[in-house]
Every structure is written in structure tokens, then in C-alpha cells.
Amino acid sequence: MTAQTASKIALVTGGSRGLGRNTVTNLARKGIDVVLTYHSNRSEADAAIAEITALGAKAVALQLDTGASDSFDGFVANLKTALKETWGRDSFDFLVNNAGIGINAKITETTEEQFDRLMNIHLKGVFFLTQKLLPILADGGRIVNLSSGLARFAGPGYAAYAMMKGGIEVFTRYLAKELGARGITANTVAPGAIETDFGGGAVRDNAGYNKMVSSVTALGRAGIPDDIGPMIAALLSDDNRWVNAQRIEVSGGMNL
């Protein structure tokens, strides 16, 4: 394979499950190779690798706690090794900051520990992981940060989580501004309520909650992972090279 036809490489945090898993498989379908991170479940990561490989793409799984910024130097070193050994490269092309957790607690009940955990994973972690990765993100590359519909509309119990996602949307615009000279774009994808195990699987498993979500969504149902992964893969294609510094909500028209 020549350098001119070499596959692009995407790094997707939290790529072993949920929306991240759907994203990496859809990237593979487009011929994009993947480095995915997982927090603790190696068997899920291995299953994702097998699925990607079956689709004809290369993939590597690396362990990462996106809430532990003191581990990022070690992670970047492991990433450099994986890039060199698997692809013979010292850079990658696409960064998708997807990893995250959901904590549902009203403002009056949110603990400082919960707030700090959300901040470390969704805000501080994304900022400093991206910072550490910028030297090996190829010029002309792409960054996609995951936000949430909850940064636009309010859902009781998600104030702290949504605050972090609002911060990510601002961060994305600054990335686009500061990285434009390198030809790197940065955009935010904000899913609506999706049927995954996120937040304890409430949208997927709670029929009443699912019905409520469906009732406030223009297309009349809750989202599924296949509504999101293909959109992210499409955003990373060259067809969307001029889309930059945008917040793109993918919610089926929720809470209009």
C-alpha cells in the first residue's frame, strides 16, 4: 500500500461500547482504521476489534481512563508505539472525544465528588487529552467532540453533566480557531436521547422514559446508536471538509 492510498486512522475514546462502538464500526465500513480506547472491559474491546477486522479495517485497543489526566503521557507513549508497529506512522488523522459517563442528580443533591468526576471525564480530560495529542494529530486532520442535546434543552437531574458539555462546545470553537492554520477542523456532535447503556440504560430499558422521549421528538421515537455512528463517520469524510466550528445536534428533532 502506497503512502498516497494508505488508510486514514481515527482515535475514538470509549470505542468499545455504546455510541463509540457504533462509530468505530461505521468508520471501518468506510475503510478508516481505528485506535479505540476502553476503560476497563478488555473483552468488550476485543469484541470491537474483531468486528472492525471482519469489516476489513485494522484496529488496536488501548486502555485509557479519560478522567485521569496524570495518565495521559503514558497513553500517548503507548499510542505512538501502536501507530509505529501497526501502521508504520507517527501520526493519526481523526480524533473523536467520545468517552463519558452519565450521572443523574438534581442540583440540590449533586455531590462535589460527582461534580468532580463529571468534570474530570467530560471537560478537563477532553481538554488535556486533546492538548497532549495535538503534536501527533496530522495536519489536515479532524476533531469531533461529543456533546449532548442537554446543552441546549434542560432535563432535570443533568445540570452538572450539561454544564461540562456546554464547556466542550465552547472548547470546540476555540480548537477550530487555533488549529485552522494547520488545516484541522473541529466540530461538536450533540446526540439526543439514545437507546444505549449510558446513564444506566434509562432510555433503552425504561418504557415510560422512552415513551416520554418519543413524545417530544419530531420523528416520534428515541434515537438508536445507528442514528449517530454513521453521522460521525460521514462528518469525518472529505465530503464535509468545509464544515468547521459547528454544533451539530443529532436528535431527530427533540424538544423543538
Q: What average pLDDT does range 162-186 have in this prediction?
A: 98
Residue 176's domain comprises 7-191+228-249
155 and 177 share a domain? yes
Structure confidence at residue 1 as a pLDDT band (50, 70, 90): very low
Q: What proportion of the chain, given as a percentage, has pLDDT over 70? A: 98
CATH number at residue 32: 3.40.50.720
The verdict on 91 and 129 lying in the same domain is yes
Q: Is the pLDDT of residue 20 over 80?
A: yes
Residue 1 counted as domain residue: no
Same domain? For 16 and 32 the reply is yes
* 42 and 110 co-located in one domain: yes
Q: Is the pLDDT of residue 3 over 60?
A: no
Q: How many CB atoms lie within 10 A of CB 34?
A: 29
pLDDT in tens, 80-129: 999 999 999 999 999 999 999 999 999 999 999 999 999 999 999 999 99
Lowest mean pLDDT among 4-13, 30-39, 223-232, 244-253: 4-13
Same domain flag for 96 and 206: no
Same domain (yes/no): 209, 143: no
Examine residue 67 and state whether it is found in any structural domain, yes or no. yes
Q: Are residues 41 and 113 in the same domain?
A: yes
Global pTM? 0.96
In 3D space, the residue among 189, 70, 185, 177 whose CA is nearest the CA of residue 128 turns out to be: 70
One domain, residues 171 and 220: no
Set 38, 161, 174, 209: catalytic member: 161
Give the span between the Cα atoms of 75 and 63, in whole angstroms.
8
Same domain, 115 and 219: no
| Within a domain: 155 | yes
6 pLDDT band (50/70/90 cuts)?
confident
Q: Is residue 110 part of a domain?
A: yes
158 is catalytic: no
Q: Cβ contacts of residue 60 below 8 Å, gap of 6+?
A: 34, 35, 36, 49, 82, 86
Is residue 34, in this structure, part of any structural domain at all? yes
Mean pLDDT of the chain: 96
| Number of separate domains in the chain | 2
**pLDDT higher than threshold 60 for residue 2:** no
Per-residue confidence (pLDDT) for residue 198, from 0 to 100: 79
